[in-house]
């Protein structure tokens, strides 16, 4: 009873901090924007921030706003892991030199250079799920559709990038964000908190993004002792070992590999299977749903 009371009080306190921090961030940004507008002719203000957006959705921040948003988004992400916007803000405001490093890795491979040139996006308008369902069993395209069905998610859940000034680096962050589910699929991990944290350890070892380390360090406090023990004793060793030795996943053009065998991709990238995960939905149901999608696609094609 005492544990429940303490947990409730802790959650209430975190929510209160989250709300207060959110208000402070909003008021700080508004005040700073107003001050910059009033001093639009002042050269000094231009030294701290580029006031002209560099791409659609870009929100330029000065160093103080960036630091304040980083701290605030970290607090709110801990208080409520469902706040995807705050997790996204945390990733962008703490990225630092990791994005130029990832961009350079992409430039070193033909596949990575092709990604940077074409800048593909991952969402339900760019990916035809019915077409992927027509791929044979064992291919990456079919595995991805089955994973989406099994987890009950869509490719449309990723936040757009706002706080990274360089357009190319902003795309690198967007690419990482939109390919996150591909990483889930290729490692065969569900989307629960426990397995999300396991993948964050993997991503930190593989990509080195600071946000993944922050999530990996503080995220386990939300797990039960049993799940936390399993994460640390079983999944973390796998994630650090596999993520550290595997090919950098940011350089993989996943959309060119729909028809490739999943096991061949894993072998090429140096990915070994993690400890077996516990799924809420049986694989047989997800495969049946993917097969139904395939039949619908075939019927639609025949009809036309």
Rg (CA), the chain: 21
- Please report, to the nearest 10 degrees, the dihedral formed by the alpha carbons of residues 8, 9, 10, 12 taken in order: 90
* Domain stop point among 52, 75, 94: 94
The candidate with the shortest Cα–Cα distance to 80, out of 151, 13, 154, is 13
> Residues 81, 131: one domain?
no
Is 101 part of any domain? no
**How many structural domains is the chain composed of?**
2
User: What residue numbers does the annotated binding site cover?
Assistant: 180-181, 184, 196
If you ran DSSP here, which 8-state letter would residue 136 be given? Answer: P
Query: What percent of the chain lies above the pLDDT cut of 70?
Result: 76
**Residue written as token pair 């706080």:** 163
> Residues 260, 198: one domain?
yes
User: What Cα–Cα distance (Å) separates residue 120 from each residue in 31, 116, 229, 254?
Assistant: 37, 8, 39, 10
Point out the least confidently predicted range of 23-37, 64-78, 235-249, 260-274.
23-37
> Residues 188, 288: one domain?
yes
Q: Residue 196 pLDDT more than 90?
A: yes
| pLDDT-derived band at 46, boundaries 50, 70, 90 | very low
Is 114 part of any domain? no
Q: Residue 303 pLDDT more than 60?
A: no
Task: Give pLDDT, residue 165.
Answer: 96
pLDDT tens digits along 19-33: 444 444 544 444 444
- The stretch 242-246 carries a mean pLDDT of 98
Q: Residue 39 pLDDT more than 80?
A: no
Is 16 part of any domain? yes
> Residues 43, 140: one domain?
no
> Residues 140, 286: one domain?
yes
If you ran DSSP here, which 8-state letter would residue 275 be given? Answer: S
When the pLDDT of each residue in the chain is averaged and rounded to a whole number, the result is: 84
Is 240 part of any domain? yes
Task: Give pLDDT, residue 298.
Answer: 55
> Residues 208, 271: one domain?
yes
| CA 177 – CA 170 distance, rounded (Å) | 11
Hey, CA dihedral for 192, 197, 198, 200, is it positive or negative? positive
> Residues 231, 288: one domain?
yes
Task: Give pLDDT, residue 84.
Answer: 84
Q: Give the Cβ contact number of residue 127 at 10 Å.
A: 20
Task: Give pLDDT, residue 83.
Answer: 85
pTM of the model: 0.81
Is 214 part of any domain? yes
| CA 53 – CA 149 distance, rounded (Å) | 38
Task: Give pLDDT, residue 216.
Answer: 92
- Please give the structure tokens belonging to residue 64: 């103080």
User: What residue numbers does the annotated binding site for Zn(2+) cover?
Assistant: 180-181, 184, 196
Is 100 part of any domain? no
> Residues 280, 155: one domain?
yes
Task: Give pLDDT, residue 43.
Answer: 40
- The stretch 212-233 carries a mean pLDDT of 94
**In angstroms, how far is CA 293 from the centroid of its own chain?**
26
Q: Residue 285 pLDDT more than 90?
A: no
Is 107 part of any domain? no
User: Domain limits at 34?
Assistant: 1-94
Task: Give pLDDT, residue 50.
Answer: 52
**In angstroms, how far is CA 165 from the centroid of its own chain?**
19
Q: Is 282 helix (H, G, I), strand (E, B) or coil?
A: coil
Cβ-in-10-Å burial (0-12, 13-18, 19+) of 62 comes to middle
| CA 79 – CA 33 distance, rounded (Å) | 28
Is 189 part of any domain? yes
> Residues 214, 144: one domain?
yes
> Residues 26, 132: one domain?
no
> Residues 43, 127: one domain?
no
> Residues 63, 137: one domain?
no
């Amino acid at each position: 009873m005492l544990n429940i009371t303490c947990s409730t009080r802790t959650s209430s306190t975190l929510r209160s901090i989250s709300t207060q921090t959110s208000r402070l961030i909003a008021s700080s940004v508004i005040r700073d924007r107003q001050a910059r507008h009033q001093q639009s002719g002042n050269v000094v203000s231009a030294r701290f921030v580029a006031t002209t957006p560099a791409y659609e959705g870009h929100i330029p921040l000065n160093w103080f706003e960036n630091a304040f948003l980083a701290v605030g988004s970290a607090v709110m992400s801990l208080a409520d892991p469902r706040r995807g916007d705050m997790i996204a803000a945390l990733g962008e405001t703490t990225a630092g030199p990791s994005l130029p490093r990832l961009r350079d890795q992409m430039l070193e491979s033909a596949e990575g250079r092709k990604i940077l040139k074409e800048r593909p996006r991952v969402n339900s308008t760019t990916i035809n799920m019915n077409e992927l369902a027509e791929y044979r069993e064992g291919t990456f395209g079919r595995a991805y559709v089955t994973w989406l069905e099994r987890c009950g998610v869509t490719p449309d859940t990723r936040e757009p990038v706002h706080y990274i000034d360089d357009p190319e680096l902003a795309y690198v962050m967007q690419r990482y964000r939109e390919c996150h589910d591909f990483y889930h699929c290729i490692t065969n991990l569900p989307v629960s908190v426990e397995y999300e944290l396991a993948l964050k350890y993997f991503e930190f070892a593989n990509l080195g993004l600071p946000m993944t380390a922050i999530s990996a360090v503080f995220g386990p406090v939300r797990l039960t002792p049993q799940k936390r023990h399993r994460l640390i004793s079983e999944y973390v060793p796998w994630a650090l070992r596999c993520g550290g030795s595997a090919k950098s996943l940011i350089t993989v053009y996943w959309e060119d590999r729909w028809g490739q065998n999943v096991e061949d991709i894993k072998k090429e990238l140096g990915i070994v299977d993690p400890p077996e995960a516990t799924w809420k939905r049986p694989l047989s149901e997800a495969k049946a749903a993917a097969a139904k999608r395939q039949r619908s696609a075939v019927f639609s094609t025949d009809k036309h």
